[in-house]
Homo-oligomer: A and B are copies of this chain.
């Protein structure tokens, strides 16, 4: 039975400030530059959620993408959309909201939520020139 990867792309907008509260102001500026603006900035994020598995003979689907979309919307996108990663998102508390940390946090939530589907990869675009990928390792 062939194993195919299916991906659903989703989008959200959010604000964040990238800084380490344990750093001095000078250290934060040197490390994070304009991403350290204390009044926040924001992005249109694009998130690709990939699930891999065999094709169900009865449906021709690996999984119902509409259900995957609803799961991702409920568990992560609906929680962060039009929000502030530093102030509004419980699962980012105490974590610097870089794309790297966001994608790992998303993985921890989505991996069990899509079960028995097997989450195989997440890709998160922060701008048109930067993206991060995570496969759970």
| With A60-B18, A61-B100: A8-B39 Cβ-Cβ less than 8 Å | no
Secondary structure class of chain A's binding surface, majority of residues: mixed
Residue A15 lies at the interface, judged by CB distance under 8 Å to chain B: yes
Residues of A within 8 Å of B, CB-based: how many? Answer: 66
Max count, chain B CB within 10 A of own CB: residue among A4, A22, A43, A64: A4
Q: List the B side residues contacting A107 at CB < 8 Å.
A: 2
Residue A24 lies at the interface, judged by CB distance under 8 Å to chain B: no
One complex includes copies of this chain to the number of 6
Q: Whose C-beta in chain B lies nearest to the C-beta of A12?
A: B41
Nearest 3 CB-CB pairs, A to B? A42-B42, A60-B96, A60-B98
**Beyond A11-B127, A60-B100, 17 extra complex contacts between A and B, CB < 8 Å:** A4-B132, A4-B133, A13-B42, A14-B42, A20-B60, A31-B59, A32-B59, A37-B88, A39-B84, A39-B88, A41-B42, A42-B43, A44-B127, A44-B128, A55-B100, A60-B101, A61-B100
